[in-house]
């Protein structure tokens, strides 16, 4: 079994290297990873995100999602992240996950995100998703958004008592984890408001044996639409020593299985030394985003390629000359200074040579 696993891992690494470094330059690769924003409704009031405050149109119904996901484009999806808004606000989320299983026969990994503000609903609903994943032999990962401890998190999320509710959700999911064995972590957005509280947050995570994941705040006129918050949230000059120390800490573990080490070393070079990004990003190569309105994009912050219900099928949009031009412009433009860590672990797995170089300090 070990020999077979090793053979499979090396085969995947060689295939990934070929696709990421050679084949992508000659043709558009089918998507292997995908983010599905199932709703733009949200019960949080996050200071770093304006989704909750944006004008909304009706989310796609279950039947419409089924119609869109029936496109052959999604048959190659191996890794799916379900996001929002707050996914648990969909009353048919479980049925939507079943649609994904049916329309994505290659699916191996499912990731769920939640703000944890409704502990009872999230634990019950995500427990049912965990049961489905176990039945379909799909690996499940759940991340609860947590940006600090107590008042720090409440201030970031704009909700009094948000921390207590999110912590209760973590506790409930940890009990479910014992039964289903899924990965459970917490996700923290690092910004000026919580930078100096990260030590307290990491201690809280260690005491509860829940691994933290981090993302540096980004500012965009798409998706989170938070440009007006940049003055309040971006790092000040006095923050630089603390920021560099955090990035050095996160990059310190250069073990072979730490797929994020290269990304954090890359971020240190970007913020401290002014270098351009070198971390591999699946959204440049073989990933996409489908949102709750049927819009197809290459990543959360990219412009829409088109709408799958109005402008043609998802396959037509994804493989169109327009999409190819957009991806090329993105890769040679905004991607060079992008700080997003979304699916960067997948990028390093697919491009193993860059991971080996990164853990050796050669970003």
Q: What is the pLDDT of residues 185-241, one digit of tens each?
A: 999 999 999 999 999 999 999 999 999 999 999 999 888 899 999 999 999 999 999
Q: pLDDT-derived band of residue 19, with 50, 70 and 90 as boundaries?
A: confident
Question: How big is the chain by its Cα radius of gyration, in Å?
Answer: 20
Antiparallel, parallel or unpaired: β 183-190 and 139-145? parallel
Question: How many Cα atoms are found within 13 Å in the side-chain-facing hemisphere of 124?
Answer: 6
Cα 190 to Cα 201: distance, rounded to the nearest angstrom? 11
- Which SS3 state, helix, strand or coil, does residue 218 take? coil
Average pLDDT, stretch 6-29?
75
Please tell me the distance from the alpha carbon of residue 129 to that of residue 255, in angstroms, as a whole number: 32
**What would the mean pLDDT of 68-97 be, rounded to a whole number?**
97
Phi, psi angle pair for 281, to nearest 5°:
-125, 120
**194 cis-preceded (ω within 30 degrees of 0):** no
Q: What is the pLDDT of residue 361?
A: 78
* Res 244: pLDDT: 98
Instruction: Name 359's Cβ contacts closer than 8 Å, sequence gap at least 6.
Output: 254, 255, 256, 258, 261, 262
Q: CA nearest 134: which of 95, 96, 94, 179?
A: 179
Q: Does residue 48 register a pLDDT over 60? A: yes
Please compute the mean of the pLDDT values over residues 307-331 and round it to a whole number. 96
Using an 8 Å Cβ cutoff, are 136 and 182 in contact? no
* Residue 9: band (very low, low, confident or very high) from pLDDT cuts 50, 70, 90: low
Average pLDDT over residues 258-277: 95
Model confidence over 122-166: pLDDT tens digits?
Answer: 999 999 999 999 999 999 999 999 999 999 999 999 999 999 999
CA 100, CA 97: separation in Å to the nearest integer?
5
> In a 3-state reduction of DSSP, which class is residue 324?
helix
Mean pLDDT of 263-290: 95
Measured distance CA(286)–CA(282) in Å, rounded: 5
Predicted confidence (pLDDT) at residue 310 exceeds the cutoff of 50:
yes
- Measured distance CA(270)–CA(335) in Å, rounded: 12
* Residue 107 Rama label (left phi>0; alpha psi -120 to 50; beta): beta
Both tokens of 308, joined, read: 């799958």
- Compute the mean pLDDT over every residue in the chain, rounded to the nearest whole number: 93
pLDDT at res. 1? 31
- pLDDT-based confidence at 363, cuts 50/70/90? low
Q: What is the mean pLDDT of residues 87-103?
A: 98
Q: What is the DSSP pairing of strand 306-307 with strand 295-297?
A: antiparallel
Q: What is the pLDDT of residue 10?
A: 63
In this prediction, residue 171 carries a pLDDT of 98
| 28-32, 93-97, 147-151, 255-259: range with lowest mean pLDDT | 255-259
Q: Quick one: what percent of the chain has pLDDT higher than 70?
A: 96
Backbone angles phi, psi at 189, to 5 degrees: -95, 120
pLDDT of residue 21: 83
The pLDDT-based confidence of 352 (bands split at 50, 70, 90) is confident
Query: Exposure string (b/e) for 124-157, b if CB count within 10 Å is 16 or more?
Result: ebbbebbebbeebebebbbbbbbbbbeebbbbbb
Helix, strand, or coil (residue 34):
strand
- Segment 293-311 shows an average pLDDT of 96
**Hey, what are 223's tokens?**
């998706």
- pLDDT value at residue 24: 83
């Amino acid at each position: 079994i070990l020999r077979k696993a090793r053979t499979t891992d090396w085969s995947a690494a060689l295939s990934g290297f070929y696709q990421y470094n050679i084949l992508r330059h000659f043709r558009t690769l089918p998507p292997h990873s995908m983010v599905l924003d199932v709703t733009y409704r949200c019960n949080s009031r996050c200071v770093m995100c304006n989704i909750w405050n944006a004008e909304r149109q009706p989310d796609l119904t279950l039947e419409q999602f089924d119609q869109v996901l029936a496109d052959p484009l999604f048959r190659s999806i191996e890794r799916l992240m379900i996001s929002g808004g707050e996914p648990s606000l969909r009353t048919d989320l479980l049925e939507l996950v079943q649609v994904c299983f049916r329309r994505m026969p290659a699916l191996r990994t499912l990731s769920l995100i939640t703000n944890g503000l409704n502990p009872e609903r999230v634990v019950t609903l995500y427990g049912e998703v965990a049961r489905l994943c176990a039945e379909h032999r799909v690996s499940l990962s759940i991340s609860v958004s947590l940006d600090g401890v107590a008042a720090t998190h409440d201030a970031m999320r704009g909700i009094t008592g948000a921390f207590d509710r999110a912590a209760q959700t973590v506790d409930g999911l940890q009990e479910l984890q014992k039964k289903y064995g899924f990965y459970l972590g917490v996700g923290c957005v690092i910004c000026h408001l919580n930078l100096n509280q990260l030590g307290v947050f990491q201690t809280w995570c260690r005491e509860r044996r829940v691994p933290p994941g981090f993302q540096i705040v980004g500012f965009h006129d798409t998706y989170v639409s938070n440009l007006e918050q940049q003055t309040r949230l971006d790092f000040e000059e006095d923050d630089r020593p603390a920021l560099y120390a955090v990035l050095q800490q996160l990059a310190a573990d250069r073990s072979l299985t730490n797929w994020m080490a290269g990304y954090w070393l890359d971020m240190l070079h970007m913020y401290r030394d002014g270098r351009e990004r070198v971390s591999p990003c699946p959204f440049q190569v073989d990933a996409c985003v489908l949102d709750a309105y049927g819009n197809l994009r290459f990543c959360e912050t990219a412009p829409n390629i088109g709408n799958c219900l109005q402008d043609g099928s998802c396959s037509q949009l994804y493989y169109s000359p327009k999409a190819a031009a957009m991806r090329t412009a993105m890769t040679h433009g905004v991607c060079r200074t992008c700080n997003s860590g979304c699916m960067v672990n997948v990028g390093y797995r697919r491009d193993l040579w860059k991971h080996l170089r990164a853990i050796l300090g050669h970003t």
